[in-house]
A and B are shown apart, each in its own frame.
Chain A
């Protein structure tokens, strides 16, 4: 597997600008001769499809949802970072770049991160021009708030629904292009494989989720904006439909998968309330701006929160990290919460949470201001738990939320398969071992609006147009393989439901490859996953048939892929014999209990090559160089 990141040879602060000049262009008349497939309609995919359509490419866009507007980007709550420095508090492109590299614990590629920080400026302009109703101050200018991992206020937000508003902006731009005829939209159509011809991605195989028809779609390039894989854990904050299938299928066809063990556990979610639970609910990290996190000092203290005087409360983040306090990065906040619960300080009926308390904020700001900032989050919390956060503190606990790992891409966002690109959460590029809050929306939109529409031209200008169609032998073979896999699933007719296997896999991964990991646990998981996969294929039951709308069959295919993917996640966690960011190996901690990196051995991205189901994958490296942000131990004290 050849890994050439193709980082342009220019100074970092001029790199993207000069690279845009170096890239070849496709002239306007020729653009309409090229077909581009975009899979996924979230912030990355939706923005990419709309912009490429606008530029004149013929775009075919796919989503398994009933409408492009349902993509999981819609659920992002807190905000989007941009180095606008509207607050005049010392922010700059360089500072956002620096914070992101440091927040990622030095496991991301400087060149990509710098470009991301630069493009953050354009994103806000673009969104406002589309009519995105960001929060404003009384003077009419845009408001900002602060977020974990930063000491400036650079987060733009639309109440607690920033993802929704940004996605609707991209969705509306996409619908406009559908109306113009530049984008052909395929809804309820799930991508199940990539068609690779002579080493180049030339199309995808999809299943129409209504008719069940499995067919090939060809193009000159394929772009995956298919999100992350947190649902490998079964219980996560991701929407139920989020899955690894598109990226895993691309991986099986030759795309390197980078850093799959970098999974982010979000610190502020509602604790689990029972075994029946189907998913966990995130409470925006923005709550940490005004909420104070604490546990009772005495383990097993059963008194109600209001009965515990201040002197008997441990505001442990403020105690351990006086300069960042409750705004430490996500990985640290999560790990410390787990530590408190493990030591018996947990609160709530299952003793599985910590308090996030707004008492002081309500006293300081008044209920009206707190309601203005967080009203809908408080309402959401009350609906789920039956408790009113204006009266009693929220209970929170970490949950899987975002995956920094993803398909390896070069500077132009192309995977190791020529013609196959990955954008947004589906790629690995910008967040290293830990993503800072309000940076996912930024990356999805930077990739979708501003990077891929240009870099794809550079690829297409150098590659001949499609002279292959659906009747090509490789396309027909891929369709046949997908059809056969589906028939196999339907034919098992065993005794266990798809969900029961997914839950079992999730528990296994959470226990051994979750918030903290160690060698023996990972080896145990690696022994158990193939067993579980084997039982799945022997004993799963998928009711119904393949030629109708069949939600059990859709789920079964996705869980089958998670069962293969889980192994490479554990291989990656096992071989990365250091702690960094969200990857916390119990064997490697500092005296203060922080992640202990090993830069000498592990200052690289780990890129995995597929060798067959159940075969040990091959690990490759992309060395990372830190020329601008000097390697240092992260400190948020």
Chain B
């Protein structure tokens, strides 16, 4: 098939950027979307032009590197996959495809489709962990965890940190990302001690990074390649509220 691509090109964070149009010819339907971009980049390189910068690594949907907007949708038209898992059989000969970076204040564009998502790391730094020293753990089977809890913890922990939730949200909120980690750790007994403090400090950091508020659109859940549920946001909000109240309680009691 032959395609027309409109790709966002931007040399750096301060450049204004804009779309450029390229042709992608003789694209096979069993190619992956990124194979197709590779092909375009080989042609650009041979024509003496700079190839399109885009992030990618594992190319099997788990590292979370390859976020981009494809025809206005984070990771493209297919549900529950990342851009690297999208194959060209989802397109038709003659299609026009618009390719843009994820856009959010907290994700500045570095070049073309590459954005800076270190704000996510800083949200994790604020408390997205269980404080355990290496070597200080008890036997792994000492605390049984009911299977449904373990399964729910896993569902939340499946987040790959790609940022599609932020790109899809009209407020550029990262509540699904933040809530997924907080929820994962809140479903296991090991995570209870720090649970409310974790919720408070992660939520606070989320706001400080410039992500918007959640107003329950649910666009994040639709865009999430791992199908992470917005229910976790409610869980996080409940923990934030509990944490705030218990803090207020303990302050007035002092």
Q: Which of A159-167, A293-301, A423-431 is near enough to bind chain B? A: A159-167
Residues from chain B with a CB closer than 8 A to the CB of A620 are none
B39 lies within 8 A of A72 (CB): no
Q: CB-nearest residue of chain A relative to B52?
A: A551
* Residue of A276, A380, A548 with highest tally of chain B CB at under 10 A: A276
Determine whether A379 belongs to the interface, using a CB cutoff of 8 Å to chain B.
yes
Determine whether A81 belongs to the interface, using a CB cutoff of 8 Å to chain B.
no
* Residue of B31, B59, B160 with highest tally of chain A CB at under 10 A: B59
Q: Which of B122-130, B168-176, B209-217, B232-240 is near enough to bind chain A? A: B122-130
A274 lies within 8 A of B60 (CB): no
Q: Considering the chains assembled together, what is the distance between the CA atoms of A336 and B109 in angstroms?
A: 49
Q: Which of A63-71, A466-474, A558-566, A579-587 is near enough to bind chain B? A: A63-71
Residue from B38, B117, B146, B160 in contact with A278 in the complex, judged by beta carbons closer than 8 Å = B38
B interface, by DSSP: helix, strand, loop or mixed? loop
* Contact flag A140-B124 (CB < 8 Å), given A173-B129, A239-B58, A544-B50: no
Determine whether A86 belongs to the interface, using a CB cutoff of 8 Å to chain B.
yes
B190 lies within 8 A of A278 (CB): no
Residue from A72, A172, A273, A541 in contact with B129 in the complex, judged by beta carbons closer than 8 Å = A172
Residues from chain B with a CB closer than 8 A to the CB of A171 are 124
**Residues 39 to 68 of chain B near chain A (Cβ within 8 Å):** 39, 42, 44-46, 48-51, 53, 55-65
The 5 closest A-B pairs by CB, nearest first: A140-B144, A129-B137, A172-B129, A125-B137, A133-B154
- 19 A–B pairs (Cβ distance < 8 Å), ordered by A: A47-B134, A65-B65, A68-B121, A74-B64, A84-B141, A125-B139, A128-B190, A129-B137, A139-B144, A158-B154, A164-B160, A176-B125, A187-B121, A274-B31, A278-B34, A383-B81, A549-B111, A549-B114, A552-B51
A164 lies within 8 A of B190 (CB): no
Determine whether B247 belongs to the interface, using a CB cutoff of 8 Å to chain A.
no
Distance of A339 from chain B, by nearest CB (Å): 26
Distance of B112 from chain A, by nearest CB (Å): 9
* Contact flag A241-B121 (CB < 8 Å), given A75-B62, A450-B134: no
Residues from chain B with a CB closer than 8 A to the CB of A50 are 134
Using a Cβ–Cβ cut-off of 8 Å, how many residues does chain B contribute to the interface with A?
Answer: 78
Determine whether A178 belongs to the interface, using a CB cutoff of 8 Å to chain B.
yes
**Residues 198 to 245 of chain A near chain B (Cβ within 8 Å):** 210, 239-241
Task: Digitize B92-119: 1 where CB-to-A-CB distance is under 8 Å, 0 elsewhere.
Answer: 0000000000000000001100101110
Residue from A66, A142, A239 in contact with B140 in the complex, judged by beta carbons closer than 8 Å = A142
Task: Digitize A278-299: 1 where CB-to-B-CB distance is under 8 Å, 0 elsewhere.
Answer: 1101100000000000000000
Number of residue pairs A-B, CB distance < 8 angstroms: 210
* Residue of A139, A159, A383 with highest tally of chain B CB at under 10 A: A383
Determine whether A91 belongs to the interface, using a CB cutoff of 8 Å to chain B.
no
Determine whether A520 belongs to the interface, using a CB cutoff of 8 Å to chain B.
no
Distance of A482 from chain B, by nearest CB (Å): 22
* Contact flag A240-B59 (CB < 8 Å), given A66-B118, A551-B51, A552-B45: yes
Residue from B30, B53, B62, B145 in contact with A164 in the complex, judged by beta carbons closer than 8 Å = B62
Residues from chain A with a CB closer than 8 A to the CB of B131 are 176
Residues from chain B with a CB closer than 8 A to the CB of A131 are 130, 153, 184-185, 188, 190-191
Residue from B48, B51, B85, B135 in contact with A384 in the complex, judged by beta carbons closer than 8 Å = B85
Distance of A320 from chain B, by nearest CB (Å): 31
A176 lies within 8 A of B129 (CB): yes
Residues from chain A with a CB closer than 8 A to the CB of B23 are none
A contact residues, range: 35 or more
Binding site for B on A (CB under 8 A): 47, 50-51, 54, 65-70, 72, 74-75, 84, 86, 122, 124-131, 133-142, 158-159, 161, 164-165, 168, 171-173, 175-176, 178-179, 185, 187, 210, 239-241, 273-274, 276-279, 281-282, 379-380, 383-386, 449-450, 453, 495, 497, 499-500, 541, 543-544, 548-549, 551-552
B157 lies within 8 A of A128 (CB): no
Residues from chain B with a CB closer than 8 A to the CB of A241 are 57
Determine whether B5 belongs to the interface, using a CB cutoff of 8 Å to chain A.
no
A136 lies within 8 A of B59 (CB): no
Residues from chain B with a CB closer than 8 A to the CB of A128 are 137, 140, 143, 190
Determine whether B197 belongs to the interface, using a CB cutoff of 8 Å to chain A.
no
B48 lies within 8 A of A129 (CB): no
* Contact flag A380-B157 (CB < 8 Å), given A274-B30, A549-B53: no
Distance of B108 from chain A, by nearest CB (Å): 11
Determine whether B219 belongs to the interface, using a CB cutoff of 8 Å to chain A.
no
B57 lies within 8 A of A240 (CB): yes
Distance of A14 from chain B, by nearest CB (Å): 19
Residue from B28, B61, B144 in contact with A380 in the complex, judged by beta carbons closer than 8 Å = B61
Determine whether B138 belongs to the interface, using a CB cutoff of 8 Å to chain A.
yes
B11 lies within 8 A of A126 (CB): no
A137 lies within 8 A of B147 (CB): yes
* Contact flag A140-B147 (CB < 8 Å), given A68-B121, A72-B63, A75-B62: yes
Task: Digitize B5-37: 1 where CB-to-A-CB distance is under 8 Å, 0 elsewhere.
Answer: 000000110000000000000001011101100
Q: CB-nearest residue of chain B relative to A48?
A: B134
Residues from chain A with a CB closer than 8 A to the CB of B129 are 130, 172-173, 175-176
Residues from chain B with a CB closer than 8 A to the CB of A185 are 121
Q: Considering the chains assembled together, what is the distance between the CA atoms of A548 and B80 in angstroms?
A: 34
Residues from chain A with a CB closer than 8 A to the CB of B35 are 276-278
Determine whether B250 belongs to the interface, using a CB cutoff of 8 Å to chain A.
no
A548 lies within 8 A of B11 (CB): yes
A549 lies within 8 A of B110 (CB): yes
Residues from chain B with a CB closer than 8 A to the CB of A136 are 144-145, 147, 150
Q: CB-nearest residue of chain A relative to B156?
A: A133
A175 lies within 8 A of B59 (CB): no
Residues from chain A with a CB closer than 8 A to the CB of B30 are 273-274, 385-386
